Amino acid sequence: MRFSLQREVLLKPLQQVVNVVERRQTLPVLSNLLVSVADGRVSLTGTDLEVEMIARASVEDSTDGETTIPARKLFEIVRALPDGSRVSVAQEGEKVTVKAGRSRFTLATLSANEFPSVEDLDLVERIRVPEAGMKELIERTAFAMAQQDVRYYLNGLLLDLREDALRCVATDGHRLALCELDLEAGAQTRKQIILPRKGVLELQRLLEAGDRTLELEVGRNHLRVRHEDVTFTSKLIDGRFPDYDAVIPIGADKELTIDREVLRAALQRAAILSNEKYRGVKLELSPGQLRIVAHNPEQEEAQEEVEAETTVDGLSIGFNVTYMLEALSALREEKVVINLRDANSSALIREQSNARSRHVVMPLRL
C-alpha cells in the first residue's frame, strides 16, 4: 500500500475520524485507523464498536492495499507537519513510513483483518434532510440529554421520523428540549429511534451549516448518515423513549413575553448567589414585571427586576437556573414566551413567532 497527498487534504479526514477512537481500548486494533487505498482514493475508518466514521480523500501515486495505523500518532504527526507539505505514506512489511520533506516517521501496524467492521445495515427507512437543518435540530436539543442515567434510553437523542417532519427530542427527566424540521418527503411510516450520546456528539461535530443534503439510512439497530466524503454509522439504543407529548404542558394559560437577552443576563447575575447544590431561583410575576430572587445557605440574596409583557399577578415559581439558561441559549429569536399554570407545574418556553422549538422545565420547590 502506498499513497501521497497534500497535508491539508489528509488532515481534514483525519480530524473527522480520530475523535471516534477511544484513548483506552480493550482491543489494541481499536486504537488504530483502518487505512484502505483503492481506485485513487484513501479511506480512513475509526470505530469504538458503537460509532463508526469513514472519511475519504483523493490521492496520487497510489498502490492499492490496506492496513491499520495508530490513530492518535498519525493525526499528531500530520497536524505537526508544516503547511503545504506533501505527505507520502508507504507500507513496508509490518511497518508504515510517513514522509514529508526531510521528516520521516516509522509506525507499527496491525493487520487489517483484525479490524472490526460494523454489520450490514438492515435498512427499514431512508430520508433526505438538509445538513443545516439537522445541525440546528441537534444544537437546539442535545444539551438536555441525560448523562449516565440508569434509565439508559434517556442517555441519547430521540429522532422521531414522521411523514412530513423530523423531530429531535431530549430529556433528562427534569427538563425536555424539542425541535422540529419540516420535510418535503419524510418517513414512509412514523418511526422513533434513539441515537446514543457519543453518536450525537460525533454527528454534531461532523455537520456544517451548508446547503448540502444528508441521506439518513435507518436500520433495525443502526443509523447511517452519508455526508459528502464521510459515512457515519452509529448503533441505536434499544429502548422505549417516554411519551414526550404527555410532558408538554397543556392549559398553561399564564403567559409572559420577555426579551431573551435581558432575561438571560438577569438570570446569570442572580445565579451567582443561588444555592450551589440546587441552583434554584424564584420567578415572581406581577403585571408588566418579572422579579428574580436567589438565596443561598450563607443568607445572601440577589434580586433582579426586569420589564415583561404579562398580566399575571401574584404567581411565584422556582426553577433550576441552569436549566432555564440552557433553554434560553437554544432559542434564537429576540422575544421568548414562557407559559405557566401554577407553582407546581412545568414551564413551557418557546420563541414568540413559532413553536417549532419548545423547552419544558420542571419547577423546583424553594
Q: Three-class SS string for 248-296? A: CCCCCCEEEEEEHHHHHHHHHHHHCCCCCCCCEEEEEEECCEEEEEEEC
Question: What average pLDDT does the segment 121-139 reach?
Answer: 94
The reply to whether 234 falls in a domain is yes
Q: Can you give the CATH number for the domain in which 264 is found? A: 3.10.150.10
DSSP-based three-state secondary structure for 90 = strand
Q: What angle do CA 276, 277, 282 make, to 5 degrees?
A: 75
Report residue 240's pLDDT band, with 50, 70 and 90 as the boundaries: very high
Q: Are 228 and 283 part of one and the same domain?
A: no
Question: What average pLDDT does the segment 303-310 reach?
Answer: 97
Element (H, E) at 65: strand 65-70
Per-residue model confidence (pLDDT) at position 353: 95
Q: Are 189 and 213 part of one and the same domain?
A: yes
Question: What average pLDDT does the segment 317-338 reach?
Answer: 97
Q: Are 163 and 260 part of one and the same domain?
A: no
Contact 44, 67 (CB under 8 A): no
Distance CA 64, CA 314 (A): 74
Per-residue model confidence (pLDDT) at position 251: 84
What is the span of the domain harbouring residue 172? Answer: 123-245
Q: Are 355 and 260 part of one and the same domain?
A: yes
Q: Are 127 and 98 part of one and the same domain?
A: no
Q: Are 160 and 54 part of one and the same domain?
A: no
Question: What average pLDDT does the segment 111-138 reach?
Answer: 91
The reply to whether 366 falls in a domain is no
Find all residues with CB under 8 Å of 150, minimum gap 6, and list them: none
All three cell numbers of 117:
467492521
The last residue of one of the domains, among 96, 114, 132, is 114
pLDDT at position 92 over 90:
yes
pLDDT at position 217 over 90:
yes
Per-residue model confidence (pLDDT) at position 227: 86
The last residue of one of the domains, among 114, 143, 158, is 114
Q: Are 233 and 131 part of one and the same domain?
A: yes
Question: What average pLDDT does the segment 120-147 reach?
Answer: 94
Q: For 204-263, give the DSSP string.
A: HHH--SSS-EEEEEEESSEEEEEETTEEEEEE---S----GGGTS-SS--EEEEEEHHHH
Q: Are 312 and 338 part of one and the same domain?
A: yes
- How far from chain centre, in Å, is Cα 316? 34
Q: Are 81 and 161 part of one and the same domain?
A: no
Contact 17, 32 (CB under 8 A): no
Per-residue model confidence (pLDDT) at position 185: 87
Q: Are 189 and 291 part of one and the same domain?
A: no
Contact 125, 161 (CB under 8 A): yes
Report residue 131's pLDDT band, with 50, 70 and 90 as the boundaries: very high
Per-residue model confidence (pLDDT) at position 128: 95
Number of compact structural domains in the chain: 3
Find all residues with CB under 8 Å of 105, minimum gap 6, and list them: 77, 97, 98, 99
Report residue 342's pLDDT band, with 50, 70 and 90 as the boundaries: very high
The last residue of one of the domains, among 94, 114, 134, is 114
pLDDT tens by residue, 161-207: 999 999 999 999 999 999 999 999 888 999 999 999 999 999 999 99
Q: Are 133 and 225 part of one and the same domain?
A: yes
pLDDT tens by residue, 104-122: 999 999 999 999 987 778 8
pTM (2 decimals)? Answer: 0.92
- DSSP type of residue 110: B
The beta-carbon contacts of 221-225 under 8 Å, at least 24 apart in sequence, are 221/119, 221/122, 222/118, 222/119, 222/121, 223/159, 223/193, 223/195, 223/199, 224/121
Backbone angles phi, psi at 285, to 5 degrees: -100, 135
Per-residue model confidence (pLDDT) at position 24: 80
Q: Are 265 and 233 part of one and the same domain?
A: no
The reply to whether 216 falls in a domain is yes
Distance CA 317, CA 313 (A): 12
The percentage of the chain sitting over the pLDDT mark of 70, rounded to a whole number, equals 100
Average pLDDT value over all residues in the chain: 95
Per-residue model confidence (pLDDT) at position 203: 96
Per-residue model confidence (pLDDT) at position 122: 85
